[in-house]
Amino acid sequence: VQLQASGGGLVQAGGSLRLSCAASGRTWSNLSIGWFRQAPGKEREFVGAISRSGGRILYADSVKGRFTISRDITKNTVYLQMDSLEPEDTAVYYCAAADSRTGTRWYVAPTTANEYDYWGQGTQVTVSS
């Protein structure tokens, strides 16, 4: 499985960005997709995730109400719409996939990094004040 994250950039506080995570090598029904971020000097943290079914989506409290995860199966892509961005959202954002072959269940949206099997390369998001 290969993951390609894109869409990062520089935006002013209050602005929006949409990140994309394109997957290849497995069908979406076999993958739960998660978004994580890592700011300089900080540990990688969970942002949000969508289950294999697409019916369960979870968010970290810090982004709830501002970020939205969606999926386009026809394009093999998961999106992270980020609105009302704050300087504290500045980080490298990663998408990750948890595969059914390693036990990820249909309605599970994993929230910890060690539950994921594959990682994309990351995309930088910088929010200026």
Q: How confident is the model at residue 119 (pLDDT cuts 50, 70, 90)?
A: very high
Joined together, the tokens standing for residue 110 give 């994993």
Q: Is the pLDDT of residue 51 over 90?
A: yes
Percent of the chain clearing pLDDT 90 (strictly above): 90
CB 57 within 8 A of CB 117: no
Per-residue pLDDT, averaged over 102-122, amounts to 94
Instruction: Write phi, then psi, for 108 (nearest 5 degrees).
Output: -95, 135
Model pLDDT, residue 101? 87
The sign of the CA dihedral 118, 54, 70, 14 is negative
Model pLDDT, residue 27? 84
The Cα 94–Cα 3 span in angstroms is 9
Model pLDDT, residue 10? 98
Joined together, the tokens standing for residue 9 give 């950039």
Model pLDDT, residue 29? 85
Q: Is the pLDDT of residue 100 over 90?
A: no
Contacts of 65 (CB under 8 A, 6+ apart): none
